[in-house]
Every structure is written in C-alpha cells, then in structure tokens.
Amino acid sequence: MNYRVIPPDGFVAARVTVPLSKSMSNRALIINAMTAGAAPLQSVAECDDTRAIIDALAAGNGTVNIGAAGTAMRFLTAYYAATEGSDVVLDGSERMRHRPVGPLVDALKSLGADIEYAAEEGFPPLKIKGRKLQGGEIEVDASVSSQFLSALLMVAPVMEQGLKIKLKGEPVSRPYIVMTLKMMEAAGVESDFYGDEIAVGHRNYRPLSIAIEGDWSAAAPWYQIEAMSSGAISVANLAKESCQGDRVLADIYSRLGVDTDWEGEEGGTDLLANPDQDARLTLDFTPMPDLVPAVTVTCAMLGIPFRFTGLSTLRVKECDRVQALVDELAKTGTVIDIEAPDVMAWEGRRVPITEMPRFATHDDHRMAMALAPVALYIPGIVIEDAEVVTKSYPGFWDDLRAAGFTLLDGDAPMPQPEENDD
C-alpha cells in the first residue's frame, strides 16, 4: 500500500504506547528456548521479527524461512548449531541471501558446529545440523556485527567448556552486547566482560526474570514529530533506566529541541518542545545505528547541518540505509554528501524541488517511519510500500492517524483545497 500523508490542521497531540522492544524480545525467545522446562513467553513484541523466531522455534526440522528478519538469521544460526537434534535449512528473503553471515558461521564451525552453505559462500541459506559444542576460546572481529557476538554469547552456556571470546577491533553497537549479557544474567547466567574479553561459563539457564520494555527505537518517529511540530506528545511505556542502547535517543533529541519529562502528567513520558537547538550536530552512531534515519531526517527538516560517523553497519541492514537516506532526502531538495563509506554530512545545501516527494521505503521499516514526519513540512508526501512497518511497529500508521494525521490513497491524485466563496 502507498499512503499520502497529510498533517493535522492544527496542534499535534498524541499519547502513544510503543511496541515492546523487539531486541529484548528476540533475545528472550532464544534464551527461553534453551531453558529446560520454561513455559512459552507471553509478553513479547508483536511484529514480523519476533514472529519469525517464534514460528521457527515451533517449526521443528526442515526448511525454515525467516523472511527479512536479520536478527532471527543470526540468533537462530547459533541456536540450531548448538541444539542437538536440529537438522534445518535456514533461509530468508532475497535481500537476506545477500546479507553476510560468514564471520558467525566461521566462529561456530571453529567450535565444532556442523554448518554448510546451501548456495553462495558466506551467505544464507545455511544447512545446519545441531550438536553439542565443546566451546573454549575464539577470536571474533567485533567491528562487523554485535548480533554475531550476541548469538554466540547466548549459546555459550550450553557449550561443555563455556566460551571465552577475545574481541578484535572496537565493538559496533556495544550497548546491544551489554543488553544480551544483562538478559542472560536475568536467566541465571553470569559473565565477565572486561577489556577486550568476554567469558561465559557452562551453566543451565533458569526462567527469565525480566520484563520486556517499550521499544526505544520505536519512539524515534515520535521524537521527530515533537521536534518538527512543537506539539504535545506523550509515550506511555518508555523506561528511563533502560538496558536498551537506543535510550540515548532522549539525549540526542535534547540537542534538537526536545526535552524528556520522565514523570508526565498522566504517568507517561512527555516530550516537550524547547527552543534551544544545536547549530550543528556531530555524532558517532557506532553504538546506536538504528537511530540514524530518524535523526538524519530531523536535522534535514530543521535545517541543522550535521556530520555523522560510525555508519558502516547501515550498509547491510534491510537496505543500504546510507544511500537510501541520501536518495530519498534528495527528493526534498536536501543535498547530503557521503564523505566515506561510514560518514555522511550535510552543510545545509538545498536545491528547489519540482514535484511532490514519493518516498521509496526500500523494504525497510525504519525508512518508512523516519520519512513519514516529513509531511509536517511538505503536506501530501507519499510513503510507498507503507506496510513494511510491520517488521517492528505494526500499529504505527494507526497511531499516526490517532495523532491527527490523515492517510490517503497514495496512488490517487493530490486532493485540492476547497475554494472559499467569501
């Protein structure tokens, strides 16, 4: 479906409940699956990514297709490899078949895993036969993907010798590694993360004792809307003391004119407009790459020049998000430079636009949600393939309607304003 997005006529006001954290949910599902006697989890995120893991765990052996769920591919690769009796072909969408998984497979095979590539070397689909892994010590390039490390860490306790990982290079998305270890601790497995080494001993998981929080990354479009409208936005279920790395969203937007009131009038988190904004934003997004689309679009609309580094992992997400952001924001007249594969900058240069922007979402949920608030500045933009938000936030468009936005058929002509006879 394609949506034409019309902003509210007046003041923007909304109280939303964002989905539960899919990052926490995905980890909880894998840990729970390795916990003897644990009951199925009830309170997890309801989205495509978690559904991919739930369906895979229920499917048994044979071909398991996880679609476009990158986290599921990484986590399930390790899970199946370390689970005796597993015999699966783990496959995904066409895009997934071009997302590298080689470093994780190499690490698992060095620990005794039985994994073969069913097609192209280094990429899904994978033929996996589960067995008891010995564990021991390995070295992993931490600059490639935090999900590779999290996948290895979660299966480490079931290895006979546990696992010690020596990290080579600076870890990307380090907060997600810390999240994994905290959730493992909540399931009775302690770890030692000191310097460039992480050690996890052999131990049985016990049922998780942690509640899944509201998803901080899903709050990003609402921070955008507040920054771009000076409205009254409240989010009901964000945790101030959160294990999610994207909690830094509140700190970033404090530099973009949004204060966060943790004790809002109705018990939620209120987003409050503040006229103070940085004249320029320079950030390293290595720890929090999922926030790049929202922050980039916000800066472009507010006219705040920026230079963002640490973008290497964005090249292999659901799409090449760096190039996608450059291409889509060009439709608003914003001329962004790619200074290096992991560096993007904007010095404020704009060119005139001659037609209403139709934004391609590139099969990427975060692109769709980040671009929708542009309607506040350019009423009538079109978001193509809007259903991609089901990957992480299925109710996003319903929440946007409740906030006063109008969603029309994106393939119909732009409605003309009614004439006034007075």
Number of domains comprising the chain: 2
Residues 135 and 31 in one domain: yes
Omega within 30 of 0 (cis) for the link into 125:
yes
Residues 285 and 153 in one domain: no
Question: Which pLDDT value is given to residue 265?
Answer: 72
What residue numbers bound the domain in which 351 lies? 3-19+214-409
Question: Which pLDDT value is given to residue 6?
Answer: 97
Q: Is residue 399 assigned to a domain?
A: yes
Quick one: CA torsion of 289, 294, 295, 298, rounded to 10 degrees? 170
What is the CATH classification number for the domain harbouring 90? 3.65.10.10
Can 290 be counted among the known catalytic residues?
Answer: yes
State pLDDT tens for residues 44-53.
Answer: 999 999 999 9
3-state helix, strand and coil shares in percent for the chain, rounded to the nearest 5: 35, 20, 45
Looking at 173, 200, 227, which one is the last position of a domain?
200
Q: How far apart are CA 373 and CA 376, in angstroms?
A: 6
Looking at 175, 200, 225, which one is the last position of a domain?
200
Helix (H, G, I), strand (E, B) or coil at 201: coil
Tokens of residue 54, six digits: 């739930």
Question: Which pLDDT value is given to residue 418?
Answer: 64
Cα separations in angstroms, 5 against 22, 237, 386: 26, 26, 11
Q: How far apart are CA 296 and CA 301, in angstroms?
A: 9
Q: Is residue 348 assigned to a domain?
A: yes
Residues 306 and 221 in one domain: yes
φ, ψ for residue 131, nearest 5 deg: -155, 165
Residues 161 and 193 in one domain: yes
Residues 253 and 270 in one domain: yes
Q: Is residue 417 assigned to a domain?
A: no
pLDDT < 50 regions, the chain: none
Residues 274 and 323 in one domain: yes
Q: Is residue 207 assigned to a domain?
A: no
Nearest CA among 110, 99, 109 for reference residue 145: 99
206: Cβ–Cβ under 8 A, 6 or more apart, which residues?
Answer: 35, 187, 188
Q: Is residue 322 assigned to a domain?
A: yes
Catalytic position from the list 48, 215, 246, 290: 290
Q: How far apart are CA 116 and CA 125, in angstroms?
A: 9
Residues 185 and 220 in one domain: no
Q: How far apart are CA 140 and CA 103, in angstroms?
A: 8
State pLDDT tens for residues 248-260.
Answer: 999 999 999 999 9
Residues 278 and 304 in one domain: yes
Q: How far apart are CA 113 and CA 356, in angstroms?
A: 53
Residues 70 and 194 in one domain: yes
Helix (H, G, I), strand (E, B) or coil at 221: helix
Q: Is residue 148 assigned to a domain?
A: yes
Q: H/E element holding 73? A: helix 70-81
Q: Is residue 249 assigned to a domain?
A: yes
Residues 321 and 172 in one domain: no
Map tokens 């659901």 to a residue: 318
User: Would you list the DSSP string of 352-403?
Assistant: ---S--EE--TT-HHHHHHHGGGGGTSTTEEETTGGGGGGT-TTHHHHHHHT
Work out whether strand 406-409 and strand 3-6 pair parallel, antiparallel, or are unpaired: antiparallel
CB atoms within 10 A of CB 40: 11
Determine the residue type at 22: K
State pLDDT tens for residues 327-358.
Answer: 999 999 999 999 999 999 999 999 999 999 99
Q: Is residue 422 assigned to a domain?
A: no
Q: How far apart are CA 22 and CA 86, in angstroms?
A: 25
Tokens of residue 144, six digits: 């490639």
Question: Which pLDDT value is given to residue 421?
Answer: 53
Looking at 165, 200, 235, which one is the last position of a domain?
200
Residues 184 and 42 in one domain: yes
Map tokens 């830094």 to a residue: 248
337: Cβ–Cβ under 8 A, 6 or more apart, which residues?
Answer: 344, 345, 346, 347
